[in-house]
Amino acid sequence: MSESSLIVDLFCGAGGLSFGFKNQGFEVSAGIDVDESCRYPYEANIEAPFIRTDVSEVTSERLLELFDPHKIKILVGCAPCQPFSKYNQKNDDPKWKLLKSFGRLISEVRPEIVSMENVPQLMKFRDGAVIKEFINNLSGAGYYVSFDTLFAPNYGLPQSRSRLVLLASLLGPISLPAPTHENHYMTVRQALSILPPLKAGMVDEKDNLHRTGSLSELNLKRIRASSQGGSWHDWPEELVAECHKSETGKGYRSVYGRMKWDRPSPTITTQFFGFGNGRFGHPEQDRALSLREGAILQGFPQDYKFVPAGEKVHLTRVGKMIGNAVPVTLANAIAGAVKSHLKEYKYA
């Protein structure tokens, strides 16, 4: 596979999407991202150069330098998702325009294969105008396009996460990956029970990333009063926060809760290490998820490196990298679909 094609990953982050393609035997030329903190995990795990720059400033000439004219060009990426959130439908966040930068580079470089991953809300952003323009431009340039919202547990991810996935090809019709786990979802227990137990605020002596945030005495009482799949609605009145007692706060049920052992986890966000930020309480232990647990629920292998040995681990910085990543398990499936497509057209 590595002899016939080459990958460049835009908005590469810590390398989730690239790692999926690497797992499927693809050669990765480089990852491009504006966040310097992603350099170490990208280069350490993907073993390809990390180029720190704003994708909107990347020229077609620079991008072509990263490809080999004798190999199939595969351009992949996930433009920042936050601008397309349901909370940002009317904003003027310039980050959403990065999708246009992605489209510009496609039209100028004309890679044979394109893979784009994002949040499902992109389909509704500005009444769908942004994604429609993106797809129409691809179709007008001769690309065959397939896209849909994929439910990650259907592909073996132990996390209830849905993502918009688009594949496009100049070679011929291309299909999205077929589900592999529709009737047997991976669970939190299957993913996390191999890790040693921890108390809140502690670090595993053998894995510096298996560390948890501390909890106040009040939040310790709260998590001890929490059941799997429950929320603050289950607590005694004296433990309930004042903000949740108001009419506007009563609807926020998916915070301060424990995950269920025998179900996929809730969607992992950039704040998954905080008990009050969602249903991120460990199913049995009195704490929120550790960084390593969040990474595993995102499909990263247990030995994936995020911080150099001996360097201080910042919960917020590493949590952001993990929560923003393309889940590796889904990336594996996307890369597998591309691999099958290239085989179909005799390029692998």
Which residues are known catalytic residues? Answer: 81
Output the CA–CA distances (angstroms, integers) from residue 244 to 5, 10, 280, in the order listed. Answer: 54, 41, 18
Please state the three-class secondary structure of 3-56 as a single string: CCEEEEEECCCCCHHHHHHHHCCCCEEEEEECCHHHHHHHHHHHCCCEEECCHH
Tell me how far apart the alpha carbons of residues 229 and 56 are, in angstroms, rounded to a whole number.
42
**DSSP for 189-224, written as a single string:** HHHHTTSPP--TT-EETTEEEEE-----HHHHHHHH
Short-list 32, 75, 74, CA closest to 57: 32
Tell me how far apart the alpha carbons of residues 143 and 165 are, in angstroms, rounded to a whole number.
15
Cβ count within 10 A of residue 220: 16
Spell out the alpha helix ranges (H) of 122-264: 129-140, 188-192, 217-224, 242-245
Place of tokens 């393309």: 326
What are the backbone dihedrals phi and psi of residue 9, each rounded to the nearest 5 degrees, phi first? Answer: -110, 110
